[in-house]
A and B are shown apart, each in its own frame.
Chain A
Amino acid sequence: MASSRFIITVIGSDRVGIVARITTVMADFNVNIVDITQTIMQGIFTMIMLAEAPQDNFDLAAFQEAMGAEGKNLGVEVKVQHEDVFRFMHRV
């Protein structure tokens, strides 16, 4: 794995505080936002973030679990996936 960058997608209905609460979890894990964008996919609110995780002592499973739990509280689906999956699928 060349980098420790992740694509975080938040899918669900829009409401106040989604960004604030999701990014709080990210800050707790020392995960930095490189880029952020919002769009509508088939009528559903979608936020995409490119994030960078620290090189040392980063617990991906715990981060994914915390993000998933916060998403559940907010009623949205949160996915954390390594960026390579997107890069590989669409680029040669």
Chain B
Amino acid sequence: MLINPNEILETIQMVRMEHLDIRTVTMGISLRDCSHPDIEVFNENIYEKITARAKELVRTTNEIQSLYGIPIINKRISVTPIAIAAESCRSPNFVSVAKTMDEAAKESDVDFIGGFSALVHKGATSGDLKLINSIPEALAGTEKVCSSVNVATTRAGINMDAVGLMGEVIKRTAGLTADRDGIGCAKLVVFANAPEDNPFMAGAFHGIGEPECVINVGVSGPGVVNAAIRELENPNLTEISETIKKTAFKITRMGEMVGREVSRRVGVEFGILDLSLAPTPEIGDSVAAILEAMGLERCGTHGTTAALALLNDAVKKVGQWLHPQ
């Protein structure tokens, strides 16, 4: 057999018992060419563009899920920050844009659509303010729309006016969805150093340095890393680090393969793969459990930060090795 049976079993075990999955396949779509002073026309433009681009996304992703037998949990869309794309609209607020995004997401059958966003780390334009003030109503009146606001970067510092404003927006968003456990706030992220190609919600948007359309993939596997470390017998720090790297490598390769195949089939270029050790509510799928597997008596005790740094460093090194760009 060309492929070692142990390797086959390892893969099967990762998926069956250790909750390895592709967390999301996210299609980024630029809406920069949809701008129009009339918000009705703008909404029509974005609806048509999103539904046309994402037409085959969910069907293709489901096909690949069954071809490879790897669960793909979410299918998502991210778009150009609406504060930029809708800046020229003369309407006093952008709530109708969020509703249009929601309809487009439902038509495309995706789980979420992100990009009801503004980047105000150094200052806000009138479009940014219109968007931010529309967030509470937009999130209360839609199901699949996610919103994010970048209020700080390492280079520009923190825009404290924006931070103050977001405090009020969060409170209003929670208030408007108080009858639904404040769900509006679960769809809102306030960022420092927001990445432009993040496939994960609620903070995904399609950055202005991105191409017309792109497929980004998010993989998660804290359970797999946890199990791999627990198999070591009295390891030293180097062995732990090596094991994390090897495991992260396998997870990353799997995500990359899925991303490339989806992008090939829908005819859209492949962007990035984001390996996140984000936990899920599943038992064993926990980052704290990894830290405890590394030797901490209890997560939070002395050495927790050092263990987390070791974990992050090992995961990042794999990223640099596979994708030096």
Listed in ascending order, the chain A residues whose CB lies under 8 Å from chain B are: 1, 7, 9, 11, 35, 37, 39, 41-42, 46, 48, 50, 60-61, 64, 79-90, 92
**B contact residues, total (Cβ < 8 Å):** 24
Q: When the two chains form the complex, which single residue of A61, A64, A86, A92 contacts B8, counting CB atoms closer than 8 Å? A: A86
Provide the residues of chain B in CB contact with A84, threshold 8 Å: 68, 257
Which of B9-17, B237-245, B280-288 faces chain A?
A: B9-17
Starting from the known contacts A11-B16, A39-B5, A89-B253, 10 additional A-B residue pairs (CB-CB under 8 Å) come to A9-B12, A39-B9, A48-B1, A50-B2, A81-B67, A81-B68, A82-B67, A84-B68, A84-B257, A88-B257
Establish whether residues B11 and A85, one from each chain, have CB atoms under 8 Å apart when the complex forms. Answer: yes
Q: How many A-B residue pairs have CB under 8 A?
A: 72
B2, B8, B10, B70: most-surrounded residue (chain A CB, <10 A):
B8
With A81-B69, A83-B3: A90-B12 Cβ-Cβ less than 8 Å: no
Which DSSP category, helix, strand, loop or mixed, fits chain B's interface?
helix
Establish whether residues B9 and A35, one from each chain, have CB atoms under 8 Å apart when the complex forms. Answer: no
B8 to chain A, nearest CB (A): 5
Binary contact readout B248-261 vs A (1 if CB under 8 angstroms, 0 otherwise): 00100110110001
A1 to B257, CA, bound (A): 11
Establish whether residues B11 and A61, one from each chain, have CB atoms under 8 Å apart when the complex forms. Answer: no
B320: interface (CB < 8 Å): no
Provide a sorted-by-A list of 29 A–B residue pairs whose CB atoms are within 8 angstroms: A1-B67, A1-B261, A7-B8, A9-B9, A9-B12, A11-B12, A11-B16, A39-B5, A39-B9, A46-B9, A48-B8, A60-B67, A61-B66, A64-B66, A82-B68, A83-B3, A84-B257, A85-B70, A86-B3, A86-B7, A86-B11, A87-B3, A89-B11, A89-B250, A89-B254, A89-B257, A90-B3, A90-B4, A92-B253
Provide the residues of chain A in CB contact with B13, threshold 8 Å: 41-42
Establish whether residues A79 and B9, one from each chain, have CB atoms under 8 Å apart when the complex forms. Answer: no
A1, A41, A64, A89: most-surrounded residue (chain B CB, <10 A):
A89
A60 to B253, CA, bound (A): 24
Q: Which residue of B lies closest to A39 (CB)?
A: B5
Establish whether residues A90 and B250, one from each chain, have CB atoms under 8 Å apart when the complex forms. Answer: yes
Q: Which residue of A lies closest to B264 (CB)?
A: A1
Provide the residues of chain B in CB contact with A39, threshold 8 Å: 5, 9
Binary contact readout B1-42 vs A (1 if CB under 8 angstroms, 0 otherwise): 111110111111100100000000000000000000000000
Q: Which residue of B lies closest to A41 (CB)?
A: B9
Establish whether residues A48 and B66, one from each chain, have CB atoms under 8 Å apart when the complex forms. Answer: no
A81 to chain B, nearest CB (A): 4
A68 to chain B, nearest CB (A): 11
Binary contact readout B54-70 vs A (1 if CB under 8 angstroms, 0 otherwise): 00000000000011111
Establish whether residues B68 and A79, one from each chain, have CB atoms under 8 Å apart when the complex forms. Answer: no
- Those of B60-103 within 8 Å (CB) of chain A: 66-70
Establish whether residues A79 and B12, one from each chain, have CB atoms under 8 Å apart when the complex forms. Answer: yes
